[in-house]
Amino acid sequence: MKNKVTKAIFPVAGLGTRFLPATKSIPKEIMTLVDRPLIQYAIDEARAAGIKEFIFVTSRGKGALEDYFDHAPELESSLRKKKKKALLNVLKNTNMDSGAIAYIRQHKPLGLGHAVWCARRLIANEPFAVILPDDVIAAEKPCLQQMVEAHAETGGCMVAAMEVPPVKSSAYGILDVREDMGSMVSVKGMVEKPEPGEAPSNLAVIGRYILTPQVLTNLTQIKQGAGGEIQLTDAIAQEIEADRGVYGYRFRGQRFDCGSKAGYLQATVSFGLARDELKGELMDYLDELATTRRAAQ
Ligand code: G1P
């Protein structure tokens, strides 16, 4: 199946406990890198890849996310009166057309596979994307767009992939590579969060997927996997067993793990440095910090 990918699922039901107390009252996807919420980066990447329908799998306490994508008439008219055009444009970028966005509740935290399965009725019989907003990827050509282009050639299922240090394997889905073709690998197995000694490679799945609807069918009968959760990795692995193509795509870009504090801080610095209006001041500060640190050693 090689039809166009126009729908994306954003699993955003997680509690974000690693960022407590902030996430006590704000969804972690609303946390900002410079001035844009994590979710905005994910949406922009999806739009660039040609996605037209955005499906959010949410949970209790995520109301702020729904509000974020709504129009803000008062704010807009006040900016219009003050002739703040640039800010108005920034705001417009956050508006979604009516009907382009859907929210589905995952009532119990049963795992990523279960979250994706919750959106099954909105997908129907076509390939779809999954974007994990915690994985922020800075790239000249947005990661999902790279994948959509590669997928047009391969069909089947495709996951973003990246080499990780072997000691980190238990934080990722890990690919067992059949054939390495450079930017693309064909996959003969996938294991969710293996211990370092048991990982079939050091090629990890990063949170961008293009999947066939068959994966949703697989999820219907899949058993609990790693961590007692319904794992998306296991449902994709079933496609390999059924002899249908699964590919890993080594994207060009830098990935930040914004699900961890260290990764989030690194992303903040990196995205700050990428802004013309902030670069100078931020760089001066970092230089000063490095000099002070060296002097203290
Ligand atoms: C999820 C997936 C895992 C993947 C990772 C990428 O894990 O289950 O296969 O490698 O995202 O970030 P999580 O980080 O949600 O535990």
Does ligand 1 come within 6 angstroms of the Cβ of 191?
no
Answer for the pair 14, 28: CB distance below 8 angstroms, yes or no. yes
Judge residue 284's burial from the number of C-beta atoms within 10 Å of its C-beta, 0-12 exposed, 13-18 middle, 19 or more buried. exposed
Q: Does 207 contact ligand 1 (Cβ within 6 A)?
A: yes
CB 253 within 8 A of CB 143: yes
Ranges of H-type helices in 23-173: 38-48, 63-68, 73-81, 85-92, 112-117, 143-154
From start to end of the chain, where are the E strands?
7-11, 32-33, 36-37, 53-58, 101-105, 128-131, 135-138, 157-163, 173-180, 184-192, 203-211, 246-250, 254-257
User: Residue 294: pLDDT band by 50, 70, 90 thresholds?
Assistant: confident
Residue 129 CA to ligand 1 centre (angstroms): 15
Q: How confident is the model at residue 189 (pLDDT cuts 50, 70, 90)?
A: very high
The string of pLDDT tens digits covering residues 248-268 is 999 999 999 999 999 999 999
121 CA distance to ligand 1 middle (Å)? 23
Rg for the chain, CA atoms, rounded: 20
- Would you say 111 and 223 are in contact if contact means Cβ atoms under 8 Å apart? no
pTM of the full structure: 0.94
Q: Is 112 in the pocket of ligand 1 (CB under 6 A)?
A: yes
Residue 12 Cβ contacting ligand 1 at under 6 Å: no
pLDDT of residue 142: 97
What proportion of the chain, given as a percentage, has pLDDT over 90?
81
Ligand 1 binding pocket mutation candidate from 205, 233, 249 (most atoms within 8 A of CB): 205
What are the pLDDT digits (tens) for 27-36?
A: 999 999 999 9
Q: Could you tell me if the CB of 233 is within 6 A of ligand 1?
A: yes
pLDDT at 293: 87
Question: What's the gap in Å between 148 CA and the centre of ligand 1?
Answer: 20
- Long-range contact set of residues 270-275: C-beta below 8 Å, sequence gap at least 24: 270/138, 271/33, 271/34, 271/138, 272/34, 274/138, 275/34
Question: Whose Cα sits closest to atom 6 in ligand 1?
Answer: 206
Regarding the beta carbon of 194 and ligand 1, being less than 6 Å apart is answered no
